[in-house]
Chains A and B, each alone.
Chain A
Amino acid sequence: MHKNMTDEEIKEVMKQTAKLAGLDLSNERIEADLSSMKRHLDAIDAVAEVNLKLESEPVPTFRLEKES
């Protein structure tokens, strides 16, 4: 997804998204966060490669059960 983006493009997206998230990130902070951002974009891509069924539901909370 982000593989065709340059670092400058990613930094620009970060800057604008941060505003939506209520964060005022300086250029210095964006530079400091860039490598972490790219690692997590890689992780997002890896998840996106899995073909999930349309009816898949998320499990943000879950309770395990004893089987036996």
Chain B
Amino acid sequence: MSVSRRTFLKGSVAGAAALSSISQGTSQANASELNYLSIAEAAELIRTRQLSPLELTQAILDRIDQVESRVLAFVTVARDEALQAARTAQEEIARGQYRGPLHGIPFGVKDTHYSKGIKSTAGSPLLADFIPTYDATVVARMKEAGAILVGKTRLPAFSMGGDTPSHNPWNLSRTPGGSSGGSAVALAAGELAAATGGDTSNSIRHPATLCNVVGMKATFGLVSRYGVIPISWSLDHIGPMTRTVADNALMLNVLAGYDPQDDYTVDVSIPDYTKALGRGVRGIRIGIPSDSLVDDFHADCIRGYQDALEVYQKLGAELVEVEMPSTLQAMDSGQRVIRICEAASYHEHHLAGDPDRYGENARPRSEGEVGALIPAVHYLRAQKLKKVFLQEMRQLFRSFDVFITPGRPAPAGEPLQFRVRQDFAKMFNCSGYPAMAVPAGFSTSPAGLPVGLQIAAKPFEEEIIYRVAHAYEAETDWHQRRPQL
């Protein structure tokens, strides 16, 4: 089935106010390619039976066949399982049992997420043959919403290290970042419209920025980590990755919520995150760091960031320069201590068994060994510092509605002239505050590498992040651009 933008719009005029309104930002997308449809667009076509889950899933699998050897986004493609699930979805919809906007939508998950009956290797030879007997809660929730699991995306072993062994679709010689790099690559390459990632030190936002996609690290406790292979229990976050802000909100609608299997999840009421889209930013107070904290960033990242701030001012938002917490730098160090100690605890079993199975030069082995050597008193001191840091963050976030920084200090693989003092990433893992990466343009030197924004807010205020991100996305076309593959 070939679907033109005109056909899509014609078919979606009636009875689809919410989805139609949130898909408006994609008007320039090449919708003739099914694999690049947004979730919102595909959902509307599926709901109105202009597109079947089987057709969409087949188009995604065809795209994977076409480009996967160049980008290496997946550890496992679950072709047969995906086609079977697509047939089931198709039958349900034909019977009038439409479950909602994710019904029939193909998705991928990072290979740390347990998937029943499908290998979950965490990118390590140690778990090369591990097949879970149950789904991680996020996988189960996506399936309950009717989404089709297509595959498991690549990562550095056990999510450790910044570079995923995949290729950035915007420049195949460059890193896509990490650790949720496979998910970001698959989205940018049109191999998926929906994916999940994990974020302990920036691992959703980093690859999202480098690959020109949207990645939300939701509030700590909003999305269950049950069934996800951890790095660090008190720092790990799970979240949705998509090509548009509206799609991300649709996914969080499904992923968010209390899970009795995860002690850290919080029983809060979950709003419809798409409701705030389109409300604009007039009167919104945007906190920004002082220029001196970003002036060592790559010039193209600064330019993209400043251009975005101008867009927000034009739209009626107010910029407020703020002073960062006094413990910010020390907390970044504390994050390293906490992360490695908790990682050592998880890896204790593997290290005591047959550590050679980690493979040669394996970072998880080294991190596990070093973490095991750090006395508990240092771990607890870092956790004490976290309490002070949380108090400072609460105080800081009282003076604005959202906090915006450049997404990354440099585009993919670009060295920095200076040592960056603060990248504004780990502060949101330590605090648990939500933060999202959003496309914000492309570099000029070298040309064509994505740059981005990071938008953060108070705990459980993902709605305002989506609202602010959507307002910017609607004024720009960065998210509509496609890499040449």
Contacts and interface: CB of A to CB of B under 8 A. Distances in A.
Contacts of A60: 234, 380, 383
Top 3 nearest A-B pairs (CB, nearest first) are: A58-B383, A46-B333, A43-B333
A59 interface: yes
A66 interface: yes
B140 interface: no
A64 B336 contact: no
8 contacts: A18-B369, A21-B373, A36-B367, A47-B334, A56-B388, A58-B380, A60-B383, A63-B266
A23 interface: yes
Contacts of A40: 336-337, 340, 370-371, 374
Contact of A50 (B268, B372, B383, B388): B388
A64 B385 contact: no
A17 B369 CA distance: 11
Interface in A29-60: 29, 32-33, 36-37, 39-40, 42-50, 52, 56-60
Contacts of A22: 352, 372
Interface of B: 219-221, 233-234, 263-264, 266, 268, 327, 329-330, 333-334, 336-337, 340, 351-352, 361, 366-367, 369-374, 378, 380-388, 390, 394, 432, 458-461
Given A23-B351, A59-B386, A67-B458, A44 B373 contact: no
B398 to A, nearest CB: 9
B361 to A, nearest CB: 8
Given A22-B372, A42-B333, A60-B234, 11 more contacts: A33-B369, A37-B370, A47-B378, A48-B378, A52-B385, A60-B380, A61-B263, A64-B459, A64-B460, A66-B461, A67-B394
A25 B372 CA distance: 11
Contacts of A29: 369
Nearest to A13: B373
A52 B220 contact: no
A29 B362 CA distance: 11
A8 interface: no
Interface in A6-27: 14, 17-18, 21-23, 25
A41 to B, nearest CB: 9
B334 A18 contact: no
B383 A59 contact: yes
Contacts, number: 114
B285 to A, nearest CB: 14
Nearest to A25: B369
Contact of B330 (A23, A50, A58, A65): A50
Contacts of A56: 384, 387-388
Nearest to B374: A40
Which of A14, A21, A48 has the most chain B CB within a 10 Å cutoff?
A21
A64 B221 CA distance: 8
Given A23-B351, A40-B374, A64 B334 contact: no
Contacts of A32: 361, 366
Nearest to B219: A64
Contacts of A42: 333
Nearest to B338: A60
Contacts of B330: 46-47, 49-50
A57 B390 CA distance: 12
A33 B327 CA distance: 28
Contacts of A46: 329-330, 333-334
A42 to B, nearest CB: 7
Given A21-B373, A32-B366, A61-B263, A66 B460 contact: yes
Contact of B366 (A33, A47, A58, A59): A33
Given A50-B330, A66-B459, A37 B387 contact: no
A14 B369 CA distance: 10
A49 B382 CA distance: 11
Contacts of A47: 330, 333-334, 337, 378, 381-382, 385
A21 B340 CA distance: 15
A21 B345 CA distance: 11
B432 A36 contact: no
Given A36-B367, A50-B330, A61-B264, A21 B372 contact: yes
B390 A62 contact: yes
A59 B390 contact: yes
A66 B268 contact: yes
Contact of B432 (A25, A37, A43, A62): A62
A63 B264 contact: yes
